[in-house]
Copies of this chain bind each other. A is one copy, B any other.
Amino acid sequence: MDSGGWIVHGYTNGATATGAGNHGFTCGYAASSCGSWEFEQREQQFISSQIQHRLNEASLIAAISMHLSMDDDDDQSAVYGAAMVDDLLTPSPSTHHAVAAAAGSFPSSSSSSASFRSASVSYSPDTSSSAAAAAATGFYPELSSQVAPLLPPPPLVRNEPQPGRYTAGLPPPPPPPVTGGAFRRYARHLGPRRAPKPGACGQRMFKTAMSALAKMHMETTYRRRQYYYQQAAAAAEAAPPPPSGNNQLQHTMSERKRREKLNDSFVALKAVLPTGSKKDKASILIRAREHIRSLESKLSELEEKNRELEARLVSSPAAKNDKGETAAAEAGDETKREDLVEIEVTTTSGGSGVADAAATGGDQETCCTLNVDLRGGGGGGGMSTTDVVLRTLQCLREQIGDGASLVAMSTSAGSGGRPPSANLTLQLKISMSLSMDDVTMISPRNQMQHTMSERKRREKLNGSFVALQSRPYVLPPGSKLDKTSSILIGAREYMKFLESKLSELEEKNRELEARLVSSPAVVAKNDEEEAAAPPEAGGEVKRERIGSSH
């Protein structure tokens, strides 16, 4: 093992160079390279490690003698630790003594020495945590509970060995007794932790202890400086120190928040990703990237296809747009267009059709011949025969459905077909059941009727259009769409926009809520409908840390 670390080296007699020869401890940092620690028990000292230790940085020479008892009884230790802390927290100059006493007392108490199983114990900000945990919590009073998040100047309650004393004692000072559970998510990690895994236990404790030590020391140093001798020079630089204690906590909190936000962003991002097996943060990022790329490529490809399609469509029907719309287009549009087409229908109704009405012969069925003349208007009648036939038939079918069936038909366009006049002869068989009377005038009448109904329909449609039109969404000005289409598309766009905005808002809301909910706050009952949101992400518990789900 090459891990670096501090190595203590004790020399009771070695360090000759030091003025006072009786002690010369050197502490070095063991570089990562060193394979393993070797400790050598030496002299009387309970621990004296003989190591190849590295002194580095030249500026640091330390003698460290340290005792860490790693026994396993938690409760007692916790309590004890709290007590110790309590003691040690006292800012009085007498601390020296106290410390010494503590140090001295330790060996004796080694049997019941404290063991800090895990951070969870030391933190355990969750109010639901056990009393013991709470007691241990006292160690980090500022973190101990959301109720009393911070106590810049430690309360300095002294010599209160009772467990839980701190958690109980501290609340008063903090002005805002924030009751919520803003840090509940942390509680999940901190609170319910299992046994601290015997192997590596104590490290965290140690760290925590050190942190506390640091804080304490800071406090101490500050005080001492204040009380004892302030050198002027020191004073010059001593200015900043005071904020340290408070700042640190604030910093911690801030960092915590930052992390939280980042994690939230992660889950948010994950939500919009296709569900993948890896819940990894890095995987999320990578997948996000891939997804974006794929989306983009797909999009461009689609765009391409779209362009092509559009081109194809445009090229076919509008091939010769060059001519200009001339007569046709300019005339108003849709509603009027029927007029333009100018179809005139002349029918020869009655049993005796032009040709073979007799042939059909049936009683209940009337045979009639319909003669449609495509009136080749001045120059206008550009409609092809095909169209005429088609439309006629269409109308016929639409209107009378299966009430009439085509028996025979013949069309003939003007010789070249270009002379716009065309003739269409239809021989229809009309079933009696439908209003006998008008049998005679089937076609014109129907046509008329059709026209009327169509007009009505159009009107209705237009009404709907204007209703839709009132929507706020406006298409980009450049779009060359006609009114109706633009309205429709606009509506669609607007809907999309609404939806996206809604989902976005919903998302934000969720997030906000989570944040609020994470606190115990009652929070308004939002549970209304909330159906819309994409359900995929719904399953996961709000606060789930990303990876932990499984």
Contacts and interface: CB of A to CB of B under 8 A. Distances in A.
A189 interface: no
B239 A35 contact: yes
A246 interface: yes
Interface string A298-317: 11011101100110110011
Given A412-B407, A457-B482, A176 B104 contact: no
B62 A216 contact: no
Q: In the complex, which range does the number of interface residues on chain A fall in? A: 35 or more
A386 interface: yes
B182 A545 contact: yes
A285 to B, nearest CB: 4
Q: Which 10 pairs, one residue from A and one from B, show the smallest C-beta to C-beta distance?
A: A382-B447, A519-B543, A1-B246, A180-B543, A6-B212, A31-B218, A17-B104, A19-B44, A33-B244, A33-B154
Contacts of A265: 282, 285-286, 289
B415 A406 contact: no
Contacts of A238: 2, 34-36
A46 B518 CA distance: 55
Contacts of A164: none
Nearest to A178: B544
Given A32-B151, A66-B61, A444-B382, A100 B24 contact: yes
Contacts of A310: 309
A214 B207 contact: yes
Given A33-B154, A61-B66, A241-B33, A221 B443 contact: no
A53 interface: yes
A272 B292 contact: yes
Contacts of A396: 386
Given A3-B245, A33-B154, A53 B217 contact: yes
Nearest to A281: B262
A122 interface: yes
A541 to B, nearest CB: 6
A356 B412 CA distance: 11
Most-contacted residue by chain B among A417, A457, A496 (CB, 10 A): A417
Contacts of A516: 512, 515-516, 542-543
Given A114-B59, A234-B36, A288 B269 contact: yes
A118 B24 CA distance: 25
Contact of A88 (B53, B92, B207, B502): B53
A154 to B, nearest CB: 3
Interface in A459-518: 460-461, 464-465, 467-468, 471, 482, 484-485, 488-489, 491-492, 494-496, 498-502, 504-506, 508-509, 511-513, 515-516, 518
Given A32-B244, A62-B8, A104 B455 contact: no
B29 A22 contact: no
Nearest to A408: B412
A452 B198 contact: no
A452 to B, nearest CB: 4
Given A11-B96, A32-B249, A35-B245, 16 more contacts: A5-B211, A5-B213, A20-B44, A28-B220, A31-B218, A52-B93, A150-B548, A179-B543, A262-B281, A272-B292, A272-B296, A295-B295, A299-B299, A390-B390, A494-B495, A508-B509
A100 B44 contact: no
B268 A285 contact: yes
Contact of A545 (B183, B282, B382, B544): B183
Nearest to A525: B261
B49 A1 contact: no
A192 interface: no
